[in-house]
Amino acid sequence: ISVSTVAFARTIAELADVIGSDDDRRTAPRLIPMRPTGTRDPLFLVHCGGGHVLRYEDLVASLPEDQPVYGLAAPDFEGSEQDISVESLARLYVDEIRKVRPNGPYQIGGYSFGGLVAYEMATRLVEAGEEVSLVAIFDTLNRAHFQNQSLKSRAQFNVTYVADRLNRYRRKLAAGDFAGFA
């Protein structure tokens, strides 16, 4: 089972249910119930480039208690020849969220790489005639935006981006936060 599953299982009984299950919760793709109950439309959050949904723990804690939240953890493609494009992940994840919510409105979000997948999921759902009430994209870079910019503009962006990343890593190291450095 994934670290995300362990982190969001609220009780030993919930964790035992996942471990003992024969259903597809133990196979990829993974729909992680981060907060499975509530009265609002569920929010589905796509993993970032690391493949897990732990980055969303603080976000989930800050949302209203009646907001159901599910994370989509990356499938395990290790040693596989499977297609892992944004489009193929979106297709897999739309199938997963429809197990929880067969019809819209849908709320989807993603951080970094997950934002690209979330946008593609929303596009697919809208094309299928479904309502998408929210697409939340956090810290997602669209490299196509820079294709028509001058070399100077792209260079300025890259310098600023690298400086920001280095400062972020410096602050994390100074605070003793080593997550994400492995």
Active site residues: 112
Alpha-carbon Rg for the chain, nearest whole angstrom, is 18
String of DSSP letters for 2-51? -HHHHHH--SHHHHHHHHH--SGGGSSSEEEEEE---SSPPEEEE--TTS
